[in-house]
Amino acid sequence: MASFQYTGTREGKSFSGVIEADDRRQAITLLARQGVQLQELAEHAEGSSGPSSGLSLRLGGSKKIKPRDITILTRQLATLLEAGFPLARALEFVSRQESTGPMSEMVSDLSASIQQGQDFSSALSEYPKYFGNIFLSMVRAGETGGILDAMLVRLAEMREADEALADRFKSAMTYPALMMGAMVIALGVMFAYVVPQFATMFEDMGRALPGPTQILLNVGDFASTWWPAVVAGVVVAGAGFKAWVKTENGAFQWDRTRLEMPVLGNFMAQFAIARLARTAGTLLESGVNLIDAFASAGDVSGNRYISHIMQRALADVRHGKPLAVALADAPVIPSLLREMIALGEESGQVGPMMKRVAEVYDRQTRETVSGITSIIEPFMVLFMGGVVGMVVIALLLPIFEMSTGGV
């Protein structure tokens, strides 16, 4: 008999403990009978103080269903099915873990559909906002092959890896955005309150002002007079850009431009290739043919330009070309991806090769995030300090000249 460490809630109170059971399925069943709403469950290692690995059973209780909630649901169902739970009972169990809200309602609806004899893939297709074509195709393949638990594990792993990749991208962008926002606020305060006071003082002095000071005051006058027009212009330009990016051509051109940006372009390319390779590898290992797998992978890469390149290469594949050859002259596509595809086509192992490519680019994105952060942090500090310093010097220069001339 094994020991399982768990964390959960009962009657609104959180607690943790250890339960003896033959296997994970029995542990879940025993805790459910006790009215415990599980949050974490893991095999209990001697001397451990809490769950260190195993099944996480925490769904978001927010009013809006988030992509992370779908990932957690997928992982939950995969673990429960692996533990021997029938699908209908697994959904019923997950539904009981939820309190109220759209997530609870959706899981309950899925459970009811399964109990009425509907296929899981058909039940999921009623929620296209949360379960896309790739998700449905893999679930359908799992149902057909009797390996639904394995397919859900692959889906969970793929979604978790994509979310980790997206989190790294956000972390790389957050700091520069915060620093730029802080600089804009600091300059706004200076031009709104500090510069006008100095301008009044300089007028009372009746002296000719140094060039930098005069330029600063002119900028301050323009900002104080025309700031509504400037703000309106920025808002209109932003709205126009957003509308343009939503068009087919706009999205394509913007995605292409992003890949050509210095420093960030390389990171965005790594991000897109990692998602493409991971999705293609997962689909190929799930029995999807090469053309459909890479077509779907291109669509979910997050970059329209890369998707376009992949679709163009697949058109050549349909006419008999190997994919590696079709991608030989394709821009943006790295040589590593082409070489691994070629090796996979020769050995019949394209799926595993794509998984390796995804691991390589996952590692590269982590290194790139660290590199970007280490470069941007001191650069932004120096840039902000330089801009604020120039403003301060321009304001103090007339006072310094007056005191020097008076000696």
362 Cβ contact partners less than 8 Å away, ≥ 6 residues apart: 161, 164, 165, 274
User: Dihedrals φ, ψ of 20, to 5°?
Assistant: -95, 130
**Amino acid identity at 115:** Q
Q: Yes or no: is domain 1-58 CATH 1.10.357?
A: no
The structure tokens listed for 324 are: 């590696």
- Per-residue model confidence (pLDDT) at position 9: 67
Q: For 129, phi and psi rounded to 5 degrees?
A: -65, -30
The 3 state secondary structure assigned to the chain is CEEEEEEEEECCEEEEEEEEECCHHHHHHHHHHCCCEEEEEEECCCCCCCCCCCEECCCCCCCCCCHHHHHHHHHHHHHHHHCCCCHHHHHHHHHHHCCCCHHHHHHHHHHHHHHCCCCHHHHHCCCCCCCCHHHHHHHHHHHHHCCHHHHHHHHHHHHHHHHHHHHHHHHHHHHHHHHHHHHHHHHHHHHHHHHHHHHHHHHHHCCCCCHHHHHHHHHHHHHHHHHHHHHHHHHHHHHHHHHHHHCHHHHHHHHHHHHCCCCHHHHHHHHHHHHHHHHHHHHHHCCCCHHHHHHHHHHCCCCHHHHHHHHHHHHHHHCCCCHHHHCCCCCCCCHHHHHHHHHHHHHCCHHHHHHHHHHHHHHHHHHHHHHHHHHHHHHHHHHHHHHHHHHHHHHHHHHHHHHHHCC
- Calculate the alpha carbon distances from 331 to 100, 178, 326, 404 in Å: 49, 33, 12, 61
Query: 186-192: long-range contacts (C-beta < 8 A, 24 or more apart)?
Result: 186/384, 186/388, 187/387, 187/388, 187/391, 190/388, 190/391, 191/219, 191/220, 191/223, 191/224, 192/224
pLDDT by residue, tens only, the chain of 407 residues: 677 777 776 655 666 777 777 777 677 777 766 666 666 677 765 544 444 444 444 454 445 788 888 998 998 898 889 888 889 888 888 887 765 678 888 888 898 889 888 899 999 998 888 898 888 888 888 888 788 888 898 888 888 888 887 887 787 778 778 888 888 888 877 777 778 878 777 777 777 778 888 888 888 788 777 878 888 999 999 999 999 988 989 989 999 998 988 877 888 888 889 889 988 998 898 888 999 889 988 888 888 999 999 999 999 999 999 999 999 888 888 999 999 999 999 999 999 999 999 989 888 888 887 777 777 778 888 888 888 888 888 888 887 777 765 44
Pick the CATH number of 157-407 from 1.20.81.30, 3.40.1350.10, 3.40.50.300, 1.10.3430.10: 1.20.81.30
What confidence score (pLDDT) does residue 13 get? 62
Signed CA dihedral, 257, 260, 262, 265: sign only:
positive
Q: What is the pTM of this model?
A: 0.64
- Residue with structure tokens 């899925």? 110
Please report the pLDDT score of residue 232 as a whole number. Answer: 92
Tens digit of each residue's pLDDT (9 = 90 or more) over 207-237:
777 888 888 888 878 877 787 888 899 999 9
- pLDDT value at position 53? 41
Q: Please state the domain extents for the chain.
A: 1-58, 157-407
- Amino acid at site 288: V
Q: Using an 8 Å Cβ cutoff, are 82 and 58 in contact?
A: no
